[in-house]
Structure 1
Amino acid sequence: MSDNRYLSVSGIVLRDNKVLLVRQSYGSVKGLLTIPGGYLQENEMPDDALEREILEETSIVVKTRSLVAIRFALNDWWAIFTADYISGEPVPDKNENSEAFFLDIDDALSHPDLTYTTKEVLLQYGKKPSMQKSNFCPAGIDPKEYMLFM
């Protein structure tokens, strides 16, 4: 499978009021802290991609819960979800990130290394209702290939 660099996901994972963060090892946010995530693979749904990416990058098992934000650009989109912590302790993959850890959300918001977008997403998190995944799926469509958040 190939990566799709135009479709990406990230997740807000909280455990005891601490948010899961990674220190990015590449790209425009190299060296900065961000919520974990990555690109969808070919024929992969966003919730599956989020769970896979967080596991690959941090060794944390999560379950996607709700959609909190989506950023559109001319050539791509980036969906930001909340995900429920299931198990594991954060371990960086040493490829895409050099650190992975939980940090108190208030401390994260004041951390000088937090990316601007991550800070804005965390500031807005919880201030308005998030969109929940609906069980609706039109007849004739495979539910594994369809998602509706409302």
Structure 2
Amino acid sequence: MSVRWSLQLRREAASVPFARRVLLGAMEAAGVDPDISHDLSVALSEACANAVEHAEGDLSGTYRVTAEIDGDRCRIEVTDFGPGLPSWWLPHRTRVPAAAAVPAESGRGMFLIESLVDNVCFDSRPGRGVVVSFDKALKWREGSLLQAS
């Protein structure tokens, strides 16, 4: 069984805990292990906070969160419609630099996302925004509703 949901959120700080609560509620209802749910919710919060803070200049004033539980994996995508990643990010970049190499006030959220999930991709679309997508293998509580066979 798979479940997919999508949220279109206003680019404001109050949307970040809302998105996190929606994800945690869905994970709880599905029977996902609380430690996995926590990791995914922190990664989601960081991705949403980046969309809220750094997507300045987008005319929509919104960003999108899409999440899918399919089998034993959860995939989450956060899409903003801002200017894209800062110039110090190389287009072919796949990993965030060590914390010491990141400017003091930016990039640490992306580093945190990488440390919490199995796979992550930062896709910058200059002038059209950023898509942060990540996934993680799920563990289930006994008797879970969506546990893969």
Give me the TM-score of the superposition, normalised by structure 2: 0.26
Choose between structure 1 and 2: higher helix proportion. Answer: 2
Highest relative contact order (Cα 8 Å, sep 6+), 1 or 2? 2
Give me the TM-score of the superposition, normalised by structure 1: 0.25
Choose between structure 1 and 2: higher strand proportion. Answer: 1
